[in-house]
Amino acid sequence: MFYEKTIFEDDFPIHIQIAQIEEYPLHYHKDVEFVYVLSGEIKLINGYGSYDLKAGDIFTNSSYEVHGLYSTGKENVVTIIQLSNHFFTRYFPDLPQACHRTYAEQDLYGKVEALRKMMLSALSDYTKKTFQYKKKCIEQMVRIIEYLNENFNLFAFEDQRIVNFKGDNPVITERVSRIINYVYENHTNKLTLEQLADQEHLSTYYLSHLIREYIGMNFREFLCFARVEMSALDLLGTDKKISLIAQERGFSTTMYYEKFFKKWFRLSPQEYRETNRPKTLSHCRPVQMEPLAPNAAVFCISRCLSAVSAQDPSTAAVSRRQLDIFVNPKKEFGPEIHRRLTVVITLEDFQVMGEALFSRLSELAATEVHLSLPARENSREENALADKLREKGYPVRMTWKNDSQQRAFFGYDSIAAVVSVFQETAFSGEQLLCRLRDQGSAEQVLKGTPACLTSGLICKPSYYAYRILSAVKGRILSRGRNYCVLRITQGGTAAYVLIAFHFNDEIQRLCSWQASIHETDEAIRSFQDVLNLDFHLSLEAGRYMVLNYSLSHENSIFNYMAQLGFPEKVTLASGWAQLLCTQPYTHVHMEQIESQMNIRFSIQGAGLQAALVQPVL
């Protein structure tokens, strides 16, 4: 098991572990690996070097490098990211030979800080399992490798310590990169300075000077270092004789090999084998680490990302708010909430939807139906529909609709409607009223009217807001401008619902201000402030199911139409609407707690996030 084979999902060429590590014994693998210390500290062994990594440090283990992780006795949270060379070499053919050195005691130019933010952004999508998170993570990792190749793909030596290469000449940087890769690829062969000079079309004198100045040692020393470093695989992973290893790695004599090995590892090859082979990964010496619970991982990553973003001057224009909410389930704050939802429908709705109309009413948990009539006299079809609704158990009330021209408030088609619904009805009264569907042709997708579905039966954000509000029945435990915590009863046991919504004054006015469709779009897109809410819920020890629910502008029908330039009519193939994903993101995980559950919501721009916390009996 000294060689660790990473198993990747078929559709996800990235393997991520977030854990508290006690010991990850010496091992190697063919795939590139990043070690990012999120909190605390940890000791890392890589080849001959030992590094004390602290919070914020990032270390890259290249292909076939012997490495291990060890606790220092203090708490730590570490994320280990492994990339499939098989997948990413389609973008970066030289990735298996890359020598990324990301560890830096001083980040003079902010390059490591930028790398931290990029990695944390990918980890945030991964831990939250956001919409199309796998696709996003792959795209983000491609950008990270590009950034590594531009800034961290070289190393140099200072006093027998490997440091990040500090070249500012792109021509020199590219050349030195080729030299390093060529030496590692051909280290087992009889390699001379003359051969390398011919490869680079340089004189041996200039090439020798270049290597000495930029790598920090002469060509022969660097070649011997590469051979010694790679020989660690043979010492720990095979029973080959020292003399044979020396020969296969390119040394002319065993004595010469032992001399250079001891220079770097401070032990003879035999001593290194005897000392470290018992420390390698095996069935007798397995990995000792405790993976973080999904919710704790989200909490940790979000905290780190907030800290990095707060220090980034480029994000200074974005306001960031942090709220810490401590909830005692035994302390009641507000009244019992039990809302009843009345849904307004028309005969046209039934003619378009057919039996699906009743499914939608059931999903909304409607308690009453208003049948809106175009005239004061009921038609035979309308009376038949009313009877059918009563047979389904719905109280029905006939209402007459005003035929006067309705004004368009395009906020009703957007995420702003969610804010409007919650602000107007979440904490006031027990009766909810909503219209089911926009009237008229499906070709005009956005009409700016307060209905839950478009004419073509695509769910608007308000549809999901009403579903939440009609389903949640319980007592308020805590409440603020942007959040609400309720205790409900599920299967005879207490469960908890946490709801948070983010908006500004302009977003709040979109459902009452006759803004154009483009003004509505601009108001939503320009609001990029971030709201971080950390809920601390005191609970009895046990195992809990956590259902996370997120509703954002990103996958709303309004945003889809914005991408098309808001056409007045859309005439696409039949059934195209069913291909659009307007559903909220949902994710379920289990968590074992002792006394307190910590749940973090992070909302950028207008949106809603909710969580159901339910004990598992």
Instruction: Report how far residue 47's alpha carbon sits from residue 26's, in angstroms, rounded to the nearest whole number.
Output: 10
Residue percentage of the chain with pLDDT more than 90: 53
The per-residue pLDDT for range 172-188, each reduced to its tens digit, is 777 887 888 788 888 99
Average pLDDT over residues 70-78: 95
52 three-state secondary structure: strand
The pLDDT mean for the chain works out to 87
Q: Are strands 585-593 and 607-615 parallel, antiparallel or unpaired?
A: unpaired
pLDDT at 106: 64
Q: Is 19 within 8 Å of 289 (Cβ atoms)?
A: yes
Give the domain 1-153+286-311 fold.
Jelly Rolls (2.60.120)
Mean of pLDDT values over 65-86: 95
Residue 163: predicted pLDDT: 47
pLDDT, tens digit, 9 for 90 and up, residues 531-581: 999 999 999 999 999 999 999 998 899 998 888 888 888 875 556 666 678
pLDDT at 426 over 70: no
* Run of H or E including 519: helix 517-526
- Specify burial of residue 407 (Cβ count, 10 A radius: 0-12, 13-18, 19+): exposed
DSSP summary character for residue 373: E
Residue boundaries of the structural domains of the chain: 1-153+286-311, 320-615
pLDDT at 156: 47
Q: Is the pLDDT of residue 155 over 90?
A: no
Whether the pLDDT of residue 77 is over 90: the answer is yes
Integer distance in angstroms from the first to the last C-alpha of the chain? Answer: 39
Both tokens assigned to 172: 């020199």
pTM: 0.67
Do 1-153+286-311 and 320-615 come out as alike in CATH topology?
no
Output the CA–CA distances (angstroms, integers) from residue 403 to 371, 374, 376, 407, 529, in the order listed: 15, 7, 12, 12, 40
Contacts of 6 (CB under 8 A, 6+ apart): 15, 29, 31, 82, 84
Band of the pLDDT at 411, cuts 50, 70, 90?
very high
Q: Read off the pLDDT of residues 30-44 as tens digits, 9 standing for 90 and up.
A: 999 999 999 999 999
274: helix, coil or strand?
helix
∠ Cα 559 560 565 (to 5°): 90
For residues 292 and 301, is the Cβ–Cβ distance under 8 A?
Answer: no
pLDDT surpasses 70 at 345: yes
pLDDT: which is higher, 387 or 573: 387
Q: How many CA atoms lie within 13 A of 6 on its CB side?
A: 26
In CATH terms, the fold of domain 320-615 is: Immunoglobulin-like (2.60.40)
Please state at what angle helix 219-237 crosses helix 170-185, rounded to 10 degrees.
Answer: 40
C-alpha–C-alpha distance, residues 48 and 67, integer Å: 9
- Residue 321 DSSP symbol: E
Task: Pick the more confident residue, 363 or 162.
Answer: 363
Cβ(103)–Cβ(62) under 8 Å? Answer: no
Q: Is the pLDDT of residue 315 over 80?
A: no
Phi, psi of 386 (to 5 degrees): -60, -45
In 3D, which of 319, 371, 303 has the Cα closest to residue 38? 303
Mean pLDDT of 116-135: 87
Do residues 536 and 527 touch, judged by C-beta distance below 8 A?
no
pLDDT of residue 109: 59
Place 129 in a pLDDT band, splitting at 50, 70 and 90. confident
The dihedrals phi and psi of 129, each to the nearest 5 degrees, come to 50, 50
Query: Please, what is the Cα angle at 601 between 595 and 607, to 5 degrees?
Result: 150
- Mean pLDDT for 300-315 is 74
Please tell me what DSSP assigns to residue 189.
S
Beta bridge partners of 534: 324, 600
Angle between helices 204-215 and 219-237 (to 10 degrees): 60
For 190-276, strand residue ranges (E) read none
**Average pLDDT, stretch 503-532?**
88
State what percent of residues in the chain have pLDDT above 70: 90
Q: What is the pLDDT of residue 576?
A: 63
Average pLDDT over residues 477-492: 87
**Lowest mean per-residue pLDDT among 173-187, 434-448, 584-598:** 173-187
Instruction: Judge whether residue 13 has pLDDT over 80.
Output: yes
Predicted local distance difference test score (pLDDT) of residue 577: 61
CA distance 426 to 470: 10
How far is residue 323 from each of residues 282, 301, 534, measured CA to CA in Å? 46, 17, 6
Instruction: Give the Cα separation of 402 and 70 in Å (integer).
Output: 73
Q: Name the least confident of 316-330, 410-424, 603-617.
A: 316-330
Contact (Cβ atoms closer than 8 angstroms) between residue 457 and residue 580: no
Least confident range of 10-24, 78-92, 93-107: 93-107
The helix/strand/coil state of 400 is strand
Q: How far is CA 259 from the centre of its chain?
A: 48
Taking residue 488's Cβ as centre, other Cβ atoms within 10 Å add up to 17
Is pLDDT above 80 for 130?
Answer: no
Model confidence at 161: pLDDT above 80: no
Residue type, 368: E
Q: 450: which 2 tokens?
A: 């307060």
Asked whether the beta carbons of 329 and 477 are under 8 A apart, the reply is yes
Greater confidence, 340 or 428?
340
Is the Cβ–Cβ distance between 137 and 125 less than 8 Å?
yes
pLDDT recorded at residue 318: 72
Tell me the pLDDT band of 472, cut-offs 50, 70 and 90. confident
Identify the pLDDT of residue 80: 97
252: pLDDT strictly greater than 60: yes
Alpha carbons 82 and 94: distance in angstroms, whole number: 16
214 — pLDDT class (breaks 50, 70, 90): confident
Look at residue 160 in the predicted model and tell me its pLDDT. 47
Number of H helices, E strands in the chain: 19, 23
Provide the 10 A C-beta neighbour count for residue 494: 16
Token representation of residue 100 = 């990324």
Q: What is the pLDDT of residue 93?
A: 86
Q: Which residues contact 369 (CB under 8 A, 6 or more apart)?
A: 342, 343, 344, 345, 361, 389, 394, 395, 396, 397
Length of the chain: 617
Q: Which of 350-354, 401-405, 417-421 has the lowest mean pLDDT?
A: 401-405
Q: What is the CA radius of gyration of the chain?
A: 31
